[in-house]
């Protein structure tokens, strides 16, 4: 589910996003464990270097010392976790969304063959990574 305003994000939310940096192609995904100032954020991540990169491509970026940061706990490839911090101003809002969900949506498609339903399921699973979809038997 997309997030309209960055200030709606709070501690405990599970989110994912991309940043405004053209050099960072990572889809960052994790649990928000804090919102903090620059003085604290720089202890979690190399925010100085990241700010310098963002500044090259986003002239109106908030000064790093005045920015508010989101601290995200992310999983590493070895199933451990690490913490990273990004200024709210660096997050591409068009990519920001919640990943946790305690709900589901039923989609019913009538007058469709099992083969076509399987094609649709495959499309959903490849187009919307991170979401679980299944065909329920009647």
pLDDT at 101: 58
Listed by start position, the domains of the chain span 6-98, 104-138
Collect all residues with Cβ–Cβ distance below 8 Å to 133 and sequence separation of at least 6. 121, 124, 125
pTM of the model: 0.70
pLDDT at 106: 78
Helix (H, G, I), strand (E, B) or coil at 74: strand
Helices of type H across 76-127: 114-127
Task: Report yes or no: 91 and 55 within 8 Å, Cβ to Cβ.
Answer: no
pLDDT at 116: 92
The tens-digit pLDDT sequence of the chain (138 residues) is: 788 899 999 999 999 999 999 999 999 999 999 999 999 999 989 999 999 999 998 889 999 999 999 999 998 777 788 999 999 999 999 999 998 755 567 788 888 998 998 999 888 888 876 677 788 876
């Amino acid at each position: 589910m997309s997030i309209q305003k960055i200030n709606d994000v709070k501690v405990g939310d599970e989110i994912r996003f991309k940043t405004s940096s053209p050099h960072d192609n990572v889809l960052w995904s994790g649990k928000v464990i804090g919102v903090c100032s620059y003085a604290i954020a720089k202890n979690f991540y190399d925010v100085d270097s990241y700010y310098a990169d963002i500044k090259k491509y986003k002239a109106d970026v908030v000064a790093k010392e005045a920015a508010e940061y989101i601290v995200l706990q992310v999983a590493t490839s070895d199933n451990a976790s690490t913490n990273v911090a990004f200024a709210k101003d660096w997050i591409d809002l068009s990519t920001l969304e919640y990943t946790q969900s305690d709900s589901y949506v039923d989609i019913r498609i009538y007058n469709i063959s099992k083969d076509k339903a399987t094609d649709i399921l495959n499309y959903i699973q490849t187009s919307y990574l991170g979401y679980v979809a299944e065909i329920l038997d009647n």
